[in-house]
Amino acid sequence: MAREAEPSRILIFGGTGYIGKHIARASVAFGHPTCIYARPPSPQTRPSNLDLWREFRSTGIRIIERFVPSDFGCEEDKIMPLPPFEEVLEKKRKIRRATEAAGIPFTFVATNCLAAYFINVLLHPHSPHDEIVVYGDGEAKAVLNYEEDVGKYTIKVANDPRACNRVVSYRPKPNIISQHQLISLWEEKTGRSFKRVYVPEKDLVKLSQTLPPPENIPVSILHSVFVKGDLMSYEIDDDDLEVSTMYPEMQLTTIDQLLDIFLTDPPEPARAAFG
118 by Cβ neighbours in 10 Å (0-12 / 13-18 / 19+) ranks as buried
Interhelix angle for 179-190 vs 255-264, to 10°? 40
Catalytic position from the list 21, 78, 91, 92: 92
pTM (two decimals) = 0.90
Q: How would you classify the pairing of strands 62-65 and 107-110?
A: unpaired
Whether 159 and 116 share a structural domain = yes
Domain that holds residue 118: 83-264
On whether residue 2 sits in a domain, the answer given is no
Whether 42 and 171 share a structural domain = no
On whether residue 192 sits in a domain, the answer given is yes
Domain count, the chain: 2
Whether 111 and 240 share a structural domain = yes
Does 92 participate in catalysis according to the annotation?
yes
Element (H, E) at 149: helix 147-158
Mapping DSSP to helix (H, G, I), strand (E, B) and coil, where does residue 252 land?
coil
pLDDT tens-place values along the chain, 275 residues long: 445 678 899 999 889 989 999 999 999 999 999 999 887 888 778 888 889 999 999 999 999 988 655 556 899 999 999 999 999 999 999 989 998 999 989 999 999 999 999 999 999 998 889 999 999 999 999 999 999 999 999 999 999 999 999 999 999 999 999 999 999 999 999 999 999 999 999 999 999 999 999 999 999 999 999 999 999 999 998 889 999 999 999 999 999 999 999 999 988 887 655 54
Select from 9, 246, 14, 33 the least CA-distant residue to 149. Answer: 246
